[in-house]
């Protein structure tokens, strides 16, 4: 082994392909004869000195990460404050990194994770500790700026489009004497990318989903109900796809759960689907069914996009290459070089241009009615869900997902009191 170790960690909501990125990181590092430690449960594992030795995992187990959903090393929602505000935590991180000869740190996550990686790169610069920090992209929300798309989104988008298409066939079959309206809630706090992906389910004018509610468009109850009623009158039934993050005109989340906050300080959302269903039932008198796929949309590895898988692995390999080349404070991003045919490449982008920023749906992707997607949006989304990459299946009919041993590294420091 060369001098120094690489520390990898996962953060935020996991995806169907974040483990594929982890596997690519470990394989690329092994190829360069660099030892990889993984922090259990993200940056908290580094603070707690709760580290696992990936070199004790077999090559077959690491390869199997490519088809295993979830987060193999655990994740967290934990945000570091500034260097001045969290001096004790940064000192603890320095102590842990130094104790285990960590010279490269890769943090695999979204906006807040990019911020953490940026702060650690600044900590290294200020203290003179020889550490190269790389942010590795991941999020089903597709809201990271700079990158054309985010690993994890393509598979969640494919799951959403397929699920909406299948549910629409069910509703159409039952509409004569039963359900008239079906409401499908997707993730997306401020950005409507997953909601837009639901629009891929239909191609004709009256195809489902006939109504999409985006966070970028203020929710107007009267307009929404009028649209649903008109669709039911014309088609006989209606499918609604709604983002969890839709807001009233005054900026309040429609589904703000009592003003609660998550560990990142974001409003705790969820439940807009049943809320809209109740509204339709009460005010239009129509029979309604609703669903909130929640974790299902981000963990459905069995229907992952082959494009998404390839991109998840590519950013993992590039992250190792950038780290070992000393490209501090960057993220490997996906650059679309051609739409027809679809082509892409990986390039480095400064974390300072990415951290704490969000990419929302551009106006040209939402049609004039405010309830659907445009041809431009479809052209952007379509390549991202292309291709199938099913996992291997066991004899009992279930996917053959891997569970790593995650053997711990011996602690060298006193327990963290934080």
Residue spans of alpha helices (H) in 236-303: 272-284, 295-299
| Average pLDDT value over all residues in the chain | 95
Listed by start position, the domains of the chain span 5-139+304-356, 153-301+373-385
The CA distances from residue 250 to 218, 219, 299, 363, in Å, are 8, 10, 34, 20
pLDDT in tens, 129-180: 999 999 999 999 999 999 999 999 999 999 999 999 999 999 999 999 999 9
pLDDT in tens, 270-310: 699 999 999 999 999 999 999 999 999 999 999 999 999 99
Catalytic residue among 50, 112, 115, 141: 141
Looking at residue 355, its pLDDT comes to 94
* Residues in a beta bridge with 243: 186
C-alpha 110/C-alpha 18 separation (Å) is 11
- Tokens representing residue 130 in the block: 């020889």
- Tokens representing residue 397 in the block: 């009919």
Q: With bands split at pLDDT 50, 70 and 90, how would you rate the model's confidence at 269?
A: low
More confident residue, 20 or 255: 20
3-class state of residue 405 by DSSP: coil
Please check whether the two domains, 5-139+304-356 and 153-301+373-385, share a CATH topology. Answer: yes
- Give Cα 354 distance to the centre of its chain: 15
Q: With bands split at pLDDT 50, 70 and 90, how would you rate the model's confidence at 8?
A: very high
Looking at residue 260, its pLDDT comes to 45
Closest CA to 114 of 376, 357, 417: 357
Write the class of the CATH domain 5-139+304-356.
Answer: alpha beta
Contact by Cβ (8 Å): 298, 16: yes
Contact by Cβ (8 Å): 44, 99: no
What is the signed CA dihedral for 34, 39, 44, 50, rounded to 10 degrees?
Answer: -110
More confident residue, 256 or 20: 20
C-alpha 144/C-alpha 333 separation (Å) is 10
Q: With bands split at pLDDT 50, 70 and 90, how would you rate the model's confidence at 256?
A: confident
Q: Is 141 a catalytic residue?
A: yes
Within 8 A by CB and 6+ apart from 285, the residues are none
Q: What angle do CA 193, 356, 249 make, to 5 degrees?
A: 55
C-alpha 66/C-alpha 263 separation (Å) is 29
Closest CA to 119 of 89, 146, 149, 145: 89
Is domain 153-301+373-385 classified as CATH 3.40.50.920? no
Q: Which residue has the tokens 């695999």?
A: 108
Looking at residue 270, its pLDDT comes to 63
Average confidence (pLDDT) over 259-266: 47
């Amino acid at each position: 082994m060369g001098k120094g170790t690489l520390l990898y960690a996962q953060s935020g909501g996991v995806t169907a392909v974040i483990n594929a990125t982890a596997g690519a990181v470990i394989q690329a590092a092994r190829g360069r004869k660099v030892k990889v430690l993984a922090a259990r449960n993200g940056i908290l594992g580094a603070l707690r000195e709760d580290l696992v030795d990936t070199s004790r995992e077999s090559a077959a187990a690491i390869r199997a990460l490519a088809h295993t959903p979830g987060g193999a090393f655990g994740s967290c929602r934990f945000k570091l404050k500034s260097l001045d505000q969290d001096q004790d935590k940064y000192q603890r991180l320095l102590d842990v990194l130094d104790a285990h000869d960590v010279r490269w740190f890769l943090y695999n996550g979204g906006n807040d994770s990019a911020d953490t990686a940026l702060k650690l790169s600044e900590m290294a610069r200020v203290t003179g500790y020889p550490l190269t920090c790389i942010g590795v992209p991941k999020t089903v929300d597709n809201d990271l700026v700079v990158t054309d798309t985010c690993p994890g989104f393509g598979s969640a988008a494919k799951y959403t489009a397929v699920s909406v298409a299948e549910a629409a066939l069910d509703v159409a079959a039952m509409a004569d004497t039963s359900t008239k309206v079906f409401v499908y809630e997707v993730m997306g706090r401020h950005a409507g990318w997953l909601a837009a992906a639901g629009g891929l389910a239909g191609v004709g004018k009256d195809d489902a989903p006939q109504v999409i509610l985006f966070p970028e468009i203020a929710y107007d109850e009267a307009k929404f109900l009028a649209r649903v009623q008109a669709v039911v009158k014309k088609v006989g039934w209606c499918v609604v796809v709604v983002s969890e993050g839709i807001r009233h005109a005054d900026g309040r989340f429609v589904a703000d759960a009592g003003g609660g906050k998550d560990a990142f300080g974001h409003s705790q959302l969820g439940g807009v689907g049943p809320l809209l269903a109740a509204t339709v039932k009460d005010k239009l008198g129509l029979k309604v069914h609703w669903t909130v796929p929640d974790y299902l949309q981000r963990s459905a590895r069995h229907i992952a996009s082959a494009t998404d898988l390839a991109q998840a692995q590519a950013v993992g390999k590039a992250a190792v290459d950038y780290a070992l080349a000393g490209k501090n404070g960057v993220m490997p991003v996906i650059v679309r070089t051609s739409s027809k045919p679809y082509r892409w490449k990986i390039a480095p982008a400064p974390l300072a241009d990415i951290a704490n920023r969000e990419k929302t749906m551009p106006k040209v992707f939402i049609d004039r009615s405010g309830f659907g997607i445009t041809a431009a949006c479809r052209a952007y989304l379509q390549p991202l869900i292309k291709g199938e990459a099913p996992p291997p299946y066991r004899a009992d009919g279930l996917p053959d997902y891997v569970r790593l041993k995650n053997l711990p590294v011996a602690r060298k420091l006193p327990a963290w009191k934080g």
